[in-house]
Amino acid sequence: MLTDKEVKHIANLARIKISEKEEKSLKKDLSSILEYIEKLNEIDTTGVEPLYQTTGLVNSFRKDEPRGEFKMDENLNEKLIGQAPRKENRFIKVGSVFEKNK
């Protein structure tokens, strides 16, 4: 079974805040999942060929073609950028992915 410290660490890695009630619930659920995985690890798979995918498709690509979803005009770029919540000049401004949000 997971410890309280491990559950808090997992929540921290996922960048979520959990209440004490949620911590207990997560501890129970995650421990149950890990126990099930341990049972799966006990299965003898000697001689069983690994299954990497099920469809049989290999490199299924579609041609990249415009579909006419947007009416193309000279103001399209401004219209699209105008919908962004934060912008600077002609660019959409987003938060840093390298710093923790304050």
- Residues 10-28: b if buried by 16+ CB within 10 A, e if exposed: eeeeeeeebeeeeeeebbe
Q: What percent of the chain has pLDDT over 90?
A: 51
Q: What percent of the chain has pLDDT over 70?
A: 96
Residue 56: inside a domain, yes or no? Answer: no
79 vs 72, higher pLDDT: 79
The rounded distance, in Å, linking the Cα atoms of 31 and 2 is 6
Domain span at residue 28 reads 4-41
Residue 76: inside a domain, yes or no? Answer: no
Domains: count for the chain: 1
